């Protein structure tokens, strides 16, 4: 159903030059994309992209396998599920709309029938995802009022690009990277938001990012984010989040990464809320200087830094290298992006402000570099 309307998020702030600020409404236009409105263009300033389940696909599981003719040979099962005739097979090099025509007994390792005929990979094969696709629902990304965006991710919700690559992750995000959004290595980038996670849970996933700061270089396209906020299952979290005392069921954490090469290192914990309360709004302000040794830093800095305030209290104060040796700038993602799990999570953003590359910065009242 075609649906068009204009949105404005008046609190989105962009800084254009050193010591100056330009207030620009966050203006987006809904356009038809299935039944889910798609935020596609923002007044020539904000060219963010939607990463969400636009195809209405529910992932059923992930396997490793290869295709020869009309036979899919599954050599191992990474994420088990119920596999059935008519499901799509997705992965690198797989023909669009490849479907399962027969399933071996038990539906695990074995030979499946597929159509159309093709050749993909060789023994033992590559990551392949099975899914059932239909009409996209309208819950993934929605707006409740003038300044609030709501992101809902249910089990099996995959972005079509992840699905095609066989990258088995759940997500509903808005991602930057267009003109006017990129930060510059060595510059002082500020952003702030009000953030809330709806009651429910605890989450069952090993990691679940709600905000990410990513390199934009093609050489680092597969790199994990240099900074992220996340809510994860404490017992199984893979981002080295730790708490003292009685282990919580879930933990809210902030991590960073840094490396002198374009490869992802292990994350380092900056902050952990080991008594995280859902349904409670928090105001976050972040000041990040992204850079490695040799970066041309602004504002008198000689190295990177990350500072973060929660509800006006400084809770992160790190000085040192941040990110990777990229020169293509950095961009901000927000929403929910997670490892597969069994829980639905709803994340809410209000009053997002972002100033990507002004130097120095003073736009966020009450906050200044320390």
pLDDT reported for residue 243: 95
- Do 159 and 41 share a structural domain? yes
- Determine the pLDDT at residue 55: 74
Q: Is 300 left (phi over 0), alpha (psi -120 to 50) or beta?
A: left
Judge if 115 and 216 occupy the same domain.
Answer: no
**Domains of the chain: total:** 2
Same domain for 81 and 217, yes or no, is no
End-of-domain residue from the set 80, 111, 133:
133
136/56 Cα distance (integer angstroms): 4
Would residue 329 count as lying in a domain? Answer: yes
What pLDDT was estimated at residue 357? 53
Could you tell me if 120 and 111 are in contact, meaning their C-beta atoms sit under 8 angstroms apart? no
Look at residue 363 and tell me if it is in a domain: no
For residue 211, what is the domain's CATH number? 2.60.120.200
Q: Give the separation between CA 55 and CA 197, rounded to whole angstroms.
A: 25
Quick: pLDDT tens for 69-111.
999 999 999 888 889 999 999 998 999 899 999 999 878 999 9
Of the residues 103, 133, 163, which one is the last residue of a structural domain? 133
Going 267 to 271 to 272 to 276, the CA torsion angle's sign is negative
212, HSE (Cβ side, Cα atoms, 13 Å): 26
23-81 per-position pLDDT tens digit: 222 322 222 222 223 333 322 234 466 777 777 788 888 999 999 999 999 999 988 88
87 with 221, same domain? no
Domain boundary among 97, 118, 133: 133
Inside any domain, residue 242? yes
Same domain flag for 194 and 126 = no
Cβ atoms 86, 115 nearer than 8 A: no
Q: Are residues 283 and 313 in the same domain?
A: yes
CB environment 51-61: b (16+ within 10 A), e (fewer): bbbbbbbbbbb
Give the model's pLDDT for residue 18: 32
Structure tokens, 100: 């399962």
Residue 318: alpha-carbon gap to chain centroid: 23
Q: Is residue 160 helix, strand or coil?
A: helix
In a domain, 368, yes or no: no
The pLDDT of residue 56 is: 78
CA separation (Å) from 334 to 151, 238, 262, 313? 9, 20, 23, 22
**Spans of the chain, pLDDT less than 70:** 1-49, 135-137, 145-147, 177-182, 355-370
Which residues touch 24 (CB under 8 Å, ≥6 apart)?
Answer: 12, 13, 14, 43, 45
With respect to residue 126, please indicate whether it lies within any of the assigned structural domains: yes
In a domain, 369, yes or no: no
145 within a domain of the structure (yes/no) = yes
Query: Do both 248 and 183 map to the same domain?
Result: yes
Task: Looking at the structure, tell me whether residues 209 and 349 fall in a common domain.
Answer: yes
Same domain, 66 and 163: no
pLDDT of residue 38: 34
Tell me, yes or no, whether 201 and 98 share the same domain.
Answer: no
Give the domain range for residue 317.
6-54+137-358
| One domain, residues 82 and 229 | no
Three-class secondary structure of residue 271 per DSSP = strand
Q: Which residues of 238-269 are buried (b: 16+ CB within 10 A; e: fewer)?
A: ebebeeeeeebebbbbbbbbbbeebeeeebee
Asked if residue 232 is part of any domain, the answer here is: yes
pLDDT at 178: 56
User: 252 and 110 in one domain?
Assistant: no
The set of residues, in sequence order, having a beta carbon less than 8 Å from that of 221 and lying 6+ positions away, is none
For residue 73, which of 61, 65, 81 has the smallest C-alpha distance?
65
């Amino acid at each position: 159903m075609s649906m068009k309307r204009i949105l404005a998020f008046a609190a989105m702030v962009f800084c254009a030059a050193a010591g100056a600020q330009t207030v620009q409404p966050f203006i987006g236009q809904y356009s038809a994309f299935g039944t889910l409105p798609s935020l596609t263009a923002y007044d020539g300033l904000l060219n963010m992209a939607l990463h969400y389940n636009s195809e209405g696909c529910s992932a059923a599981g992930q396997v490793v396998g290869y295709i020869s003719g009309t036979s899919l040979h599954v050599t191992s099962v990474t994420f088990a599920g119920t596999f059935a005739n008519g499901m799509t097979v997705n992965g690198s090099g797989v023909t669009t709309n490849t479907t399962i025509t027969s399933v071996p007994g038990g539906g695990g390792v074995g030979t499946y029938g597929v159509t159309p005929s093709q050749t993909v990979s060789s023994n033992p094969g590559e990551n392949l995802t099975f899914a059932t696709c239909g009409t996209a629902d309208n819950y993934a990304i929605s707006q409740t009022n003038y300044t609030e965006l709501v992101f809902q991710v249910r089990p099996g919700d995959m972005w079509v690009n992840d699905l095609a690559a066989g990258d088995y992750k759940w997500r509903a995000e808005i991602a930057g990277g267009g003109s006017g959004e990129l930060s510059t290595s060595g510059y002082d980038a500020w952003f702030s938001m009000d953030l809330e996670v709806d009651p429910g849970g605890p989450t069952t996933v090993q990691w679940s990012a709600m905000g990410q700061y990513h390199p934009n270089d093609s050489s680092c396209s597969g790199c994990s984010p240099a900074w992220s906020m996340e809510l994860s299952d404490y017992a199984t979290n893979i981002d080295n989040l730790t708490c003292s005392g009685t282990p919580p069921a879930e933990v809210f954490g902030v991590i960073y990464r840094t490396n002198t090469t374009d490869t992802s290192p292990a994350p380092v914990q900056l902050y952990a809320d080991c008594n995280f309360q859902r349904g409670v709004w928090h105001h976050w302000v972040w000041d990040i200087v992204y850079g490695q040794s040799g970066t041309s830093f602004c504002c008198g800095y000689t190295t990177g830094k990350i500072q973060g305030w929660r509800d006006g209290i400084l809770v992160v104060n790190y000085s040192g290298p941040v990110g990777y040796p990229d020169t293509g700038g950095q961009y901000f993602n927000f929403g929910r992006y997670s490892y597969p799990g069994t829980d639905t999570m709803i994340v809410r953003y209000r009053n997002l402000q972002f100033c990507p590359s002004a130097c120095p910065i003073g736009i966020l009242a009450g906050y200044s570099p320390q």
